[in-house]
């Protein structure tokens, strides 16, 4: 058991990935049915790491783990699990274990777990909650999915705006039992519960007791409407370096607070979504999905791609005669299309990211379009010369070199334009540019690439 004493956290100093030996020890304890040892090993891990472990092992191992250790599971582990694994785990847990695990969590985490739960299990958990918390959770579930209302915790620390620092400190001491686990500000509210400012705890601790709270508030104060989209909330945290933000209802009344750790998790999810969507993976929930589930998730986008690939083939079919006479055209045509596809993807990715960070706006879109076109022309010119020479040397035909050079300039310019204009238009139409743009752009570059090259060839060479 040397590894347990040597590094209780079971993690490398440099890398936070779970150590292989630790995982092996846990797997061994599971396979040998040594529940006591398994418990000891797991107790040394952070709940987030236990959740990762449960996602990484196979179905059977996970079931055994739950059989030996399921009664010790705590709410934080459930909260950290990927949705698909979490559902499976929840199905396996006895009702009393489930409701006890959930009881420890803050309201925002309970909401997060409940929103994907089956109705019967949802009832079990809700019934186990104290009445006041149940009402709070049910209200939160009434807000739209992916809104600030779902992200926020209901536990807030407030003070009337006319208090001084000493009064606020005394109040916190008296109420110490009822304070949330994590809070960073005392929110000042007017008599109608509208937040008017906040004071950081550091400021509270370092300001003389007689100072009015109002004079200790932060300049950075801002509130978030309860129905605001979670991605906008995460953006605001990152843009304005916020730590926590009061959430208000339509009447500007305080209903909760969102803290930066939740905003960071949303930012991370949003990034994952953008990245996967750009690659045509719409809803990959986790590595622990089965092959069938994964196939179902990836097939639709491949089907769209097949349709567009056939469209490109129809363009080629228009020039079957030319290809039959000059087979070199068939050899060279994928190069033009491939270069266009790659240049288009470059522009597209930069544009999608710039839209997400709000760096690409109505104010600068035309300047950026102009720049992209120029970049496309410059790269087009460069690769036109290179590829013209390659074609000339390869097939010994100046005309063929000229045709591929021209087609390259046309396709790289069109690729650059499509790469920026398609996502901008998607955004205007209210469609996530990361989701739909890729197919459009590569369709454009394939069709234009084949058409320009084969069309020019038909005119010049035949």
Region 378-397 residues binding a second copy, contact defined as CB under 8 A: 378-379, 382-383, 386-387, 390
At residue 148's C-alpha, the angle toward residues 147 and 149, to 5°, is: 85
Our CB check for a second copy shows the closer of 68 and 183 to be: 183
- Dist CA 333 CA 342 (whole Å): 15
Residues in the chain: 462
Contacts with 363 (C-beta within 8 Å, 6 or more apart), sequence order:
none
Which residues contact residue 391 at a Cβ distance below 8 angstroms, ignoring those fewer than 6 apart? 328, 332, 397, 400, 401, 404, 405
Q: Tell me the closest approach of the beta carbon of residue 141 to a second copy, in angstroms.
A: 22
Kindly state whether residue 313 participates in binding a second copy, applying the rule CB under 8 A: yes
- Vertex 414 angle, CA 393 and 411, to 5°: 15
Q: Which residue has the tokens 């996602």?
A: 55
Which of residues 125 and 408 has its CB atom nearest to a second copy in the complex?
408
List binders of a second copy among 23-52 (CB under 8 A).
23, 27, 46, 48-49, 52
State which residue, 31 or 361, has the beta carbon closest to a second copy. 361
Closer CB to a second copy, residue 126 or residue 216? 216
The nearest distance, CB 257 to a second copy, in angstroms, is 13
Minimum CB distance to a second copy, residue 290 (Å): 7
Please, what is the minimum distance in Å from the beta carbon of residue 175 to a second copy? 8
CB 305 to a second copy: min, Å: 5
* 8 A C-beta contact, residue 168 and residue 201: no
The H or E element that residue 452 is part of is helix 433-461
Exposed, middle or buried: residue 51 (CB in 10 Å: 0-12, 13-18, 19+)?
buried
Least separation in angstroms between CB 417 and a second copy: 13
Task: List binders of a second copy among 191-230 (CB under 8 A).
Answer: 200-202, 204-207, 220, 222, 225, 228-229
The dihedrals phi and psi of 119, each to the nearest 5 degrees, come to: -55, -45
Q: Tell me which residues in 128-167 interact with a second copy (CB under 8 A).
A: none
Residue 431 binding a second copy, by CB under 8 A: no
Q: Which residues pair with 244 in a beta bridge?
A: 259
Q: Residue 151 or residue 312: which is nearer to a second copy going by CB?
A: 312
Q: Which stretch binds a second copy (CB under 8 A): 95-103, 110-118, 191-199, 305-313?
A: 305-313
Q: Which is nearer to a second copy, 57 or 414 (CB)?
A: 57
DSSP 3-state of 8: coil
Query: Which of 385, 395, 412 shows the shortest CA–CA distance to 457?
Result: 395
Write the CB contacts of 131 (distance below 8 Å, at least 6 apart in sequence). Answer: none
Closest separation in Å from C-beta 345 to a second copy: 5
User: Please, which of residues 333-372 interact with a second copy by CB under 8 A?
Assistant: 333-335, 337-339, 342-343, 345-346, 348-350, 353-354, 357-364, 367-368, 371
* Residues numbered 254-283 forming contacts with a second copy, rule: CB under 8 A: 260-261, 263-265, 267-268, 271-272, 274-276, 278-281
Total number of residues binding a second copy (CB under 8 A)? 133
CB within 8 Å of 156: residues ≥ 6 apart: 180, 183, 187, 246, 254, 256, 257
Angle separating helix axes 59-69 and 20-31, nearest 10 degrees? 70
Near a second copy by CB under 8 A, which window of 31-39, 53-61, 89-97, 145-153?
53-61
Which residues inside 55-94 make contact with a second copy, applying CB under 8 A?
55-58
Torsion of CA 224, 229, 234, 235, to 10 degrees: -90
Closer residue to a second copy (CB): 103 or 172: 172
Nearer to a second copy among residue 49 and residue 161 (C-beta):
49
Q: Closest CB to a second copy among 31 and 123?
A: 31
Instruction: Note every long-range contact of 393-399, with CB atoms under 8 Å and residues 24 or more positions apart, other chains counting.
Output: 394/328, 395/328, 397/328, 397/461, 399/460, 399/461
Q: Say whether residue 119 binds a second copy (CB under 8 A).
A: no
Give yes or no for residue 446 binding a second copy (CB under 8 A): yes
Q: Hey, which residues between 240 and 259 contact a second copy (CB under 8 A)?
A: 240-243
């Amino acid at each position: 058991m040397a590894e347990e004493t040597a590094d209780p956290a079971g993690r490398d100093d440099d890398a936070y990935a779970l150590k292989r030996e630790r995982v092996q020890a846990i797997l061994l304890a599971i396979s040998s049915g040594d529940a006591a040892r398994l418990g000891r090993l797991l107790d040394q891990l952070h709940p987030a790491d236990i959740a990762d472990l449960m996602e990484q092992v196979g179905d059977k191992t996970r079931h055994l783990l739950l059989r030996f250790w399921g009664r010790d599971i705590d709410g934080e582990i459930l909260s950290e699990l990927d949705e698909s694994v979490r559902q499976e785990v929840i199905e396996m847990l006895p009702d009393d274990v489930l409701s006890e695990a959930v009881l420890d969590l803050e309201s925002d985490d309970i909401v997060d777990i409940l929103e994907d739960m089956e109705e019967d299990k949802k009832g079990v958990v809700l019934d186990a909650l104290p009445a006041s918390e149940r009402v709070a959770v049910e209200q939160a579930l009434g807000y739209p999915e992916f809104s600030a209302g779902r992200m926020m915790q209901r536990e807030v620390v407030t003070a009337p705006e006319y208090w001084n620092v000493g009064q606020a400190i005394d109040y916190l001491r008296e109420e110490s039992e009822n304070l949330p686990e994590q809070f960073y500000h005392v929110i000042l509210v007017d008599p109608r519960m509208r937040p008017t400012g906040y004071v950081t705890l550091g400021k509270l601790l370092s300001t003389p007791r007689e100072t009015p709270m109002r004079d200790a508030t932060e300049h950075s104060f801002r509130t978030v409407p309860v129905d605001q989209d979670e991605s906008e909330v995460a953006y605001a945290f990152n843009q304005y370096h916020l730590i926590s933000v009061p959430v208000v209802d339509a009447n500007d009344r305080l209903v909760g607070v969102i803290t930066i750790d939740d905003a960071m998790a949303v930012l991370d999810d949003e990034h994952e979504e953008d990245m996967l969507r750009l690659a045509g993976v719409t809803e990959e929930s986790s590595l622990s999905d089965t092959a069938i589930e994964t196939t179902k998730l990836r097939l639709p986008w491949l089907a769209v791609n097949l349709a567009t690939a056939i469209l490109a083939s129809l363009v080629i079919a228009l020039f079957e005669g030319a290809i039959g006479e000059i087979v070199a055209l068939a050899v060279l045509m994928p190069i033009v299309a491939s270069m266009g596809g790659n240049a288009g993807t470059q522009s597209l990715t930069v544009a999608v990211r710039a839209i997400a960070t709000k760096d690409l706006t109505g104010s600068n879109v035309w300047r950026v379009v102009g720049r992209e076109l120029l970049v496309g022309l410059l790269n087009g010119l460069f690769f036109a010369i290179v590829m013209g020479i390659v074609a000339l040397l390869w097939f010994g035909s100046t005309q063929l070199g000229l045709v591929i050079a021209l087609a390259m300039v046309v396709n790289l310019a069109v690729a650059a334009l499509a790469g920026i204009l398609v996502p901008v238009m998607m955004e205007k139409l209210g469609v996530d540019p990361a989701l739909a743009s890729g197919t459009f752009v590569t369709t454009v570059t394939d069709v234009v690439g084949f058409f320009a090259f084969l069309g020019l060839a038909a005119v010049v060479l035949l």
